[in-house]
Chain A
Amino acid sequence: MSDLSIFDVNPAAGAKSESPLAMTRVTVATVASPAKAGVVVREHAFQGHLILRGRATDDQFRAGVEQALGVPLPLKMGPLSRDEARGVSIQWMSPDEWLVIVPAGREFATENRLREVLSGHYAVMNVSGGQTVLELSGPAVRDVLMKSTPYDVHPRNFPVGKAVSSVFAKSSAIIRRVAEDRWELVIRRSFADYLYRWVLDASEEFGVYVAS
């Protein structure tokens, strides 16, 4: 445990949290039910996002992360470490950087847990307020992604469980395939309004349903 002073950025009472999409109006024509939709869009707001930095070659670091989070540290680009039931995932972002996503409200406890088990040269940053997650599901999601990113989303290059960071609609996004027909976009707060409306607009022709 380091002697760094850290604090919970989400005080339990009295503070109102607002998703970056709180002010965004849906202006495209939507379909009446998810069953009729080619794409179902759903925001997973307020999850805990932590950026973890450290040395992948450090055995203690790797073991500590696995001990704290219960999923192994991915050591290369692509395969997402994910426990769907607990809502915990670790994504390789660069050789010394990972994105950890935990359920809403768990970020401070997770950060503390990581600081308990890790030592030496590492860093944990809470970036929950800086980004949000859009879940896209349905049979036409791949068509929408093909309109939006130069990254090859064909199944031969993008199997279930893969996660990449790429250009998305002239901005950028993290693209994660979490199931056969279910994808996640991790988008930055400052671009969230634009990217959300891009996704809705790109999905309109396939029939889009906005789930809450």
Chain B
Amino acid sequence: MLHIYCPYCEEYREEEEFRPKGEAHIARPAEPEATSDEAWGDYLFFRKNPRGLHHEQWYHAAGCRKFFNATRDTVSYQILETYKAGQQPTVTAAARAAQAAGKGVAK
């Protein structure tokens, strides 16, 4: 069982209380009428399936019933952070690369 920190309840809760809701930060095309079928199809159906860091939505179904975001490692299942809807992740591939580069310089 995962222990997931709900950023609204401000408490770790059992995985059983939550539902995963897929990839986060998907922007709806601002003008659907002016969007090509291909772009609209990508928006509706195409999702990332990364090996490693993934930013995804979770839903606190049995608790506060709010959607929030989590950064999860799809290899280890480790949840590295959770953050409220509308916020941006701090653990990202770019942040990790910058950190690794910084370490390289320090040596």
Contact = CB atoms under 8 A, between A and B. Distances in A.
Interface in A145-196: 150-151, 164-167, 172
Contacts of A172: 62
Contacts, number: 38
Interface residues on A, range: 10 to 19
A1 interface: no
A94 B60 CA distance: 10
B72 interface: no
A135 to B, nearest CB: 21
A93 B64 contact: yes
A93 B9 CA distance: 9
A55 interface: no
B64 A165 contact: yes
A151 B13 contact: yes
B43 to A, nearest CB: 28
A124 B14 CA distance: 31
Given A77-B64, A165-B64, A94 B13 contact: no
B62 A167 contact: yes
A80 to B, nearest CB: 14
B15 to A, nearest CB: 9
A167 B62 CA distance: 6
Interface residues of B, number: 14
A95 B64 contact: yes
Contacts of A97: 64
B17 A77 contact: no
Contact of A166 (B1, B8, B13, B66): B13
B10 interface: yes
B10 A166 contact: no
A166 B64 contact: no
Question: Top 4 closest A-B pairs, CB basis?
Answer: A94-B64, A150-B14, A77-B9, A167-B62
20 contacts: A76-B10, A77-B8, A77-B9, A77-B10, A77-B63, A77-B64, A78-B11, A93-B64, A94-B65, A95-B8, A97-B64, A150-B14, A164-B63, A165-B63, A166-B14, A166-B17, A166-B62, A167-B14, A167-B62, A172-B62
Interface of B: 1, 8-11, 13-14, 16-17, 62-66
Interface of A: 76-78, 93-95, 97, 150-151, 164-167, 172
Given A150-B16, A172-B62, 17 more contacts: A77-B9, A77-B10, A77-B11, A77-B64, A78-B11, A94-B8, A94-B66, A95-B64, A97-B64, A151-B14, A164-B63, A165-B62, A165-B64, A166-B17, A167-B16, A167-B17, A167-B62
